[in-house]
Amino acid sequence: MQIDGETRIVAILGDPIAQAKSPELFNALFERHAVNAVLIPLQVPPAKLGAVLDGLRGIVNLAGVVVTVPHKIAAAAYAADLSEAARQTGGVNCLRREVDGTWAGAMFDGVGFVQGLHACNHVVRNKSVLLVGTGGAGAGVAHALVDAGVASLDLFDSNTESLQRLEDSLRTRGGTALVRRSAPIAQGTHDLIVNATPCGMRASDPLPIDLTGASPNAMVADLIMKPTQTRLLEDAAARGLATHLGRHLLESSVEVMAAFLRLVR
């Protein structure tokens, strides 16, 4: 990869940022498409997010930013324009810098997750889902699962404000899925069990979901990308359950995100 005066810059903002797989995947995409662009990781504490986004607006050769944990909800407030998915979820995972220096925001976590499931030949329609974590990524996944035709969606988050916000947005949009509050405990009726919390990034983290009562036919998915095999996925595999890695979400959305940033067609 050659970086010169014409290189377009993309940043990924998160705290922590060491777990991010976006630099690897985006930069490989730019190389495949012969695009003179580079994605770099920036660790930005929550208290500095606004100042950083305001500063980045002034960089003319900045295409935009990818937004990861814990900034997806907060970053949406800085966008002058939001995609439908971003409006539904109240969060963004990508901000495009417009010519006038304003931000256009979009949320691709949900569609990336569902497309990742489909790419692995996993059926979503008419399934019963337990989703733990209702922040930016969890909200995006919840809306996409409803769009994909799940029969029921059981939600849990220790942050009741986040949980209520997602419940309200799902209620406003309507749909046929049965949405209800639950506990972080797998039931025999759950076909798909999803961890959308950051719990599992560190080896010392507790298990975010109790799989004791999970159906032997259930599949367990984790949105965390590093480590690849979280404790939750290891626990699921030890119980003989099918698992779905976090990287499938990003692999299924990186090209559409680059297109949103107007770097590929």
**Smallest Cα–Cα separation from 42: which of 74, 62, 16, 3?**
16
All residues at 6 or more sequence positions from 48 whose CB lies less than 8 Å from its CB, including other chains: none
Local structure of residue 210 (DSSP, 8 states): B
C-alpha to C-alpha distance for 222 and 234, rounded to whole angstroms:
11
Instruction: Cite the active site residues.
Output: 72
Torsion angle, alpha carbons of 229, 230, 232, 238, to 10: 40
Q: Which residues, at least 6 apart from 55, have a Cβ–Cβ distance to it below 8 Å?
A: none
